Structure 1
């Protein structure tokens, strides 16, 4: 099997044609509490082509965004859009593994992860808990087990220690087990009626 970076490099050119990523991003940002507005630092984990990083600039007006992805090609495509979408250069792009994040403890106000936790596993949640300040907010999505039909190559990337949640309680438990509180779970509608890909949308806070 190709390395994870090579797998996502091969998907980069078509990434922005998939409406699922934009839908999930919009729903996650809309569900953030009002206290998340104008944060000092937003971290976009597994940023892909920067969909959530750019949306966070518009929705939250943060001082700074750190956007991390393991795929050089994904980040290259994001940077190509940054001249128009981030004219004042608030986004720092990092080609790096998502776990652990290269950030100090308690540095972030908001962590976003759209459509990628199922590649990272529970270790990512514990690392987000580490980098968030007290009162900081996490917003992530994860597929619903009933709609999760990955290709063999895709399935090989799902960590063995992650169980894809079947219901809202399972999704909430991922955050609770990592030490988060005030966990809220919603379910996304399919972005395409003929291709059901519902996801759980999870928002939680650091106590």
Structure 2
């Protein structure tokens, strides 16, 4: 079950200043856009845009005649995204603060493509996909990415360490963490699965310097908040040390993560009654 909107918004506001330092996020988003292959003139929604990696890649791929709308609930992330758009001179991208799973102010059938790079980890999956189905034109494409179940390894290690403090943390990648689950969620939301691609993404050692922040200010925020300051400090020291040991003994294992990119086509409008 995703954390509350308030928890997610606060967590990403805190992460906003360092989020761009994770280079793998950029490569992850760019690969999603590459698979979605946006065309010139498209109207594109980037749901849970964060600091705008996928929105920027889509705007570049689709060119100046396209229009990209990025939505996110974090003011901090949107502020960083606006800075990036300004520095790049992009004029065909707009950004708004909104819940990516509920966009009642956007017209039905108003987009050709909906992108969501890693954001479904923090959203109610079925609700979000059905809302994006509503927003797509018939034949429009949705494209999202997710970690495969059990990845990243650093996240698995975090959950194992958390058990020492009485925390039974579930893998947030599980609901979409297998190609078959991605296909089923697409079908259940009214899409025709078009392509499900499994690949790997490589982290850098610098990326893993932010692992503690990502876990404690991400899906497990509420659970960690239940610990005392002393427990948190000890947990952090133990986790950081154990992760460093893993990097030194099996770097490839620690830095390689399996990921899934899933794409689905929206059917004709008359199928909406079956959703």
Q: TM-score, normalised by structure 1?
A: 0.86
**Post-superposition offset of 1:30:** 1.6
Match of 1:168 in 2: 179
Looking at structure 2, the residues matched to 52 and 86 of structure 1 have their Cα atoms a distance apart, in angstroms, of 16
What SS class does the counterpart of residue 188 from structure 1 fall into?
A: strand
Looking at structure 1, the residues matched to 68 and 43 of structure 2 have their Cα atoms a distance apart, in angstroms, of 6
**Post-superposition offset of 1:25:** 1.4
Match of 1:186 in 2: 197
Match of 2:188 in 1: 177
Looking at structure 1, the residues matched to 22 and 11 of structure 2 have their Cα atoms a distance apart, in angstroms, of 17
* Deviations, residues 183-205 of structure 1 (Å, cap 9, x unaligned): 21111312224333322100111
Match of 1:71 in 2: 74
- Alignment coverage as a number of residue pairs: 200
Match of 2:60 in 1: 58
Match of 2:50 in 1: 48
Match of 1:115 in 2: 118
* Deviations, residues 151-179 of structure 1 (Å, cap 9, x unaligned): 67xx79x6xxx952342111211111111
Q: TM-score, normalised by structure 2?
A: 0.66
Structure number with higher helix proportion: 2
* Deviations, residues 115-161 of structure 1 (Å, cap 9, x unaligned): 11111122100001000000111110112112153767xx79x6xxx
CA RMSD of aligned residues (A): 2.4
Query: After superposition, where does 1:122-161 map in structure 2 within 5 Å?
Result: 122-147=126-151, 149=155
Name stretches of at least 5 consecutive residues in structure 2 with no aligned partner.
160-168, 204-251, 268-275
Q: Larger C-alpha radius of gyration, 1 or 2?
A: 2
